[in-house]
Amino acid sequence: MSKVFFLVSVSLDGYLVPPGMDLEHAGDPTYEDWGAQWGKLHSWILPQRFLREMLKLGEGGETGTDNDIVEHTFRRTGVSIMGKRMFDLGERMWPEEAPFHTPVFVLTSQVREPWVRPGGTTFYFVNDGIESALRQARAAAGDQDIRIAGGADVIQQYLRAGLVDEFALAIAPVMFGGGQQLFARIGRDVGVELVETIASPRTTHARYAVRKP
């Protein structure tokens, strides 16, 4: 059966998104310096060759541990699930060829027809909760895995419901002091086991298995 996982970049003090990065200020990366902070958070992934090729940013780019992790994550993912706020922000900022190349199920109260993008990404809008989105994702994923893309609230919902099998963090050497905290509403009932850590020049990768109740 497909595994449900997430891989996200997180600040050293536990934030997924820096202060000021929201729909109101999406067009102004200088607001509270969110653009520079977001760049620091993702500085490990942005130069990687596989990402550059996938986003059609031109030739070149780095190879090595970080590049291998990016490629492995992309190759294993057959479907992504995300929340409406992440979709709304991405709809403004993603290129025409959205960076998924898979079906994406968006959790929302909005009723909307599927949105087909070039390059193999189609967004489907799910109005009846996280378990329905996961059922649809499993049907679409085949033998590939299902990635919970974000944001923090959606990740927390799937963790609390016991629906995540494993997750990985790319822990960036930056402090935000605020923003969207990744594990803000996770209680003691969610048990995890450290599987491995990998240090690279720009980040520390930590992979965890989630213990089922």
Domains and CATH numbers, the chain: 4-202 (3.40.430.10)
Mean per-residue pLDDT for 33-55? 94
Residue 189 has a pLDDT of: 85
C-beta of residue 14 within 8 angstroms of C-beta of residue 156: no
Beta strands 103-107 and 191-199, pairing class: unpaired
**Whole-Å CA distances, 72 to 42, 50, 54:** 17, 10, 13
Question: pLDDT tens for residues 2-35?
Answer: 999 999 999 999 999 999 998 888 889 999 999 9
Question: pLDDT tens for residues 82-128?
Answer: 999 999 998 988 888 999 999 999 999 999 999 999 999 999 999 99
**Whole-Å CA distances, 37 to 40, 55, 80, 127, 142:** 5, 21, 25, 33, 37
Residue 1 has a pLDDT of: 79
Question: pLDDT tens for residues 133-182?
Answer: 999 999 999 999 999 999 999 999 999 999 999 999 999 999 999 999 99
Q: Report the first-to-last Cα separation within the chain, whole angstroms.
A: 18
